[in-house]
Amino acid sequence: MSLALPAIGIETSGSMARWRRGLSIWIDAVEDGWAVPLLIAGFVAIWMVYFSIAYVGGDLHQDVIETWSLGRSFDWGSTKHPPLMGWAARAWTTVFPLTNWSFNLLALTNAAVGLWAVDRITQRFARGDKRIIVLLLLMVLPVYQLHAQRFNANAVLLSSWPLATWCFLRSFETRRAGWAVAAGLTAALAMLGKYYSIFLIASFAIAALCHPERKRYFSSQAPWIAALTGLVALAPHLVWLAMTGAQPFSHAIAHHTGKTSAAALIEGGGFLLAMSGIAGIPGLIWLAMARPRPARVLNDALSLAPGLRLLAVISIGTVILPALVSAIFGTDMPPLWGLQGVFLFVVVIVCGASYQAPRELTVNLAAIAIAIAIFAAVVVAPLHALYRNYVPLNEGRNFYQPAVTELDRLWRNATDSPLRAVGGDDGLAFAAAFYGADHPQYDMGLVHPRELMPAGDVRRPEGWAALCYDGDISCVAGMEAAAARTGHSVRVDFTLRTNLFGWQGASQGFVALIVPPEASPPAQTAPGIADELSSRRRLPSAAN
């Protein structure tokens, strides 16, 4: 990839030259304090436009609405994940509404905080153009927008890892109590985001032990204050784990372990190769911009400044340690879990170089990053929306709101009482909790109890409902078994069709189960709903 190509012909165009001068003036303002915030704000704005258009016919991913469901109460954990993502979603909805755009904004705000923290780290080692280059190299990867959109336990690390790294670096450099407390708190925050963060914290310890200043650091109060602060911050969660039987660990062991030795080696090796390839993309772009001699690159790598040497060991540790754990213990280790650590390599690669990239190539990189985002919002997003009208998203997200609207209508036909509980397919049940008029609680024990959950009591006096895809044999069978135990229920089969501005697309069948409150009269079965047309936001009820 040659970033010099866009410069061809630019000198012959006065309007283009002015445009380039504008970008150059913006880059000159990096140290004035407004260029980086403008870049991050523009990044959020453009990708908000992309999400709003691309998913006009699709709702939030199941992981996102599950995150909100887990955060409905400020518990210290859940059966699958630590609590940070749920807390963030709950805090966000105290200000913003339960809408698709709101949670897309949450995802991008989380990414923006991560980019801001990355810039704070970069400031420790570079000034001017390199600060912008680090952020632009991260922005051309689909990490801080497409990966970030699925706000879950992985995405929340996009902000918590840079924050923890920044505070650790400052604590190591200054050995002050304030930064030590900050390092402990942010490390605990990363652990409350996902237990995978243990690899980051272990890398902190290894990097400190390998550093020439290790004696001064460990003889100071800083590491011990940080460790104590982190343990105190994690104490409530540790107590919760002890009282609940460490359910997240049981879930992880049940779903992410058990590989054979050969498969484990392949998994660990694949993780290393994938992470090297992902981090290599911005590295190759940087080398294409600066065009240094190989000997100079090697010399820079061997003579990193002390702070960058610390960061380099951390970056290597966050890749080597997961690969070793996967190979030794036979665990899953998809590269998706390590994307939040790519910034470490980018900062070391760019800031560790003793050479600069020409200003015109920095301008070209900025132009390419901006062009990619605008092209995605203006061209790719409408095409994606049109395509998904006819080829729905695999998770069934095109039908979440219409299906929930129909479930609400069926419930209102049966009773005037609010719907308190919902079961069925995970995605549909979480969607019913998020988009439903009554925001019922999802109870997975109602229809298909899991191996970690005892069978639920389906005889709820307040009643409940469930929703399955008609082709999901397991879900429908669980629904029928639950209906047999209730003694009074109504099953309704219906079909929905996507509709994008009048263009009818794909169809999907559903099975709903309504169990009215015990005090309510038996519900009357609605006429057979063979086919219903859905608009994006509101489903008009139309029975055949």
In the listed set 376, 407, 436, which residue is the last one of a domain according to the structure?
A: 376
Domain boundary among 344, 376, 408: 376
Task: Report the alpha-carbon distance of residue 253 to residue 255 in Å, rounded.
Answer: 6
Pair 195, 248: CB distance under 8 Å:
yes
Element containing residue 386 per DSSP (H, E): helix 381-390
* pLDDT for the residue 454: 44
Instruction: Say whether both 405 and 328 belong to one domain.
Output: no
Question: How far is 330 from 261, CA to CA, in rounded Å?
Answer: 7
Count of CB atoms situated within 10 Å of the CB of 303: 11
Do both 350 and 423 map to the same domain?
A: no
Judgement on whether residues 348 and 446 belong to the same structural domain of the protein? no
Assign 491 to helix, strand or coil.
strand
My answer on whether 445 and 311 are in the same domain is no
Q: Do 406 and 333 share a domain, yes or no?
A: no
Does residue 257 share a domain with residue 148?
yes
147 DSSP 8-state letter: I
Same-domain status, 356 and 477: no
> Which pLDDT score is estimated for 8?
32
Q: Assess whether 278 and 313 both reside in one domain.
A: yes
Taking the C-alpha atoms of residue 299 and residue 315, their distance in angstroms, rounded to an integer, is 19
Residue 15 lies in a domain: no
12 within some domain: no
Same structural domain, 475 and 432:
yes
Residue 249 is encoded by which pair of tokens?
Answer: 């660990």
DSSP 524: P
CA distance 113 to 245: 34
Residue 385 in any domain: the answer is no
Domain span at residue 424 reads 397-533
> Among candidates 84, 108, 111, which has minimal Cα distance to 193?
84
Domain count, the chain: 2
Q: Tell whether 484 is covered by a domain.
A: yes
Helix, strand or coil, per DSSP, at residue 490: strand
- Residues 71, 85: contact at Cβ < 8 Å? yes
In terms of domains, do 93 and 127 share one? yes
Can you name the residues that pair with 464 across neighbouring β-strands? 515
Identify whether residues 333 and 435 lie together within a single domain: no
Alpha-carbon gap, residue 255 to 240, rounded angstroms? 21
Q: Which of 328, 347, 376 is the last residue of a domain?
A: 376
Check: CB of residue 40 under 8 Å from CB of residue 115: yes
Distance of CA 162 to the CA centre of its chain: 15
* Residues 368, 415 share a domain: no
pLDDT in tens, the chain (544 residues): 444 433 333 343 454 578 889 999 999 999 999 999 999 999 999 999 999 999 998 999 999 999 999 888 888 888 888 999 999 999 999 999 999 999 999 999 999 999 999 999 999 999 999 999 999 999 999 999 999 999 999 999 999 999 999 999 999 999 999 999 999 999 999 999 999 999 999 999 999 999 999 999 999 999 999 999 999 999 999 999 999 888 887 777 777 888 888 998 999 999 999 999 999 999 999 999 999 999 999 998 999 999 999 999 999 999 999 999 999 999 989 999 999 999 999 999 999 999 999 999 999 999 999 999 999 999 999 999 999 999 998 888 999 999 999 999 999 999 999 999 999 999 999 999 999 999 999 988 888 644 334 445 556 788 999 999 999 999 998 888 888 888 788 999 999 999 999 899 999 999 999 999 976 554 444 443 333 333 333 333 333 2
Buried/exposed 91-129: b ≥16 CB within 10 Å, e otherwise: ebbeeeebebeebbbbbbbbbbbbbbbbbbbbbbbbeeb
Residue 18 covered by a domain: no
For residue 63 the two structure tokens come to 């992981």
Return phi, psi of residue 99, to 5°: -135, 165
Rounded Cα–Cα distance for residues 353 and 299 (Å): 9
Confirm if 120 and 353 have CB atoms less than 8 A apart: no
Determine, yes or no, domain membership for 7: no
Q: Is residue 340 part of a domain?
A: yes
Give the model's pLDDT for residue 487.
76
Does a structural domain hold residue 17?
Answer: no
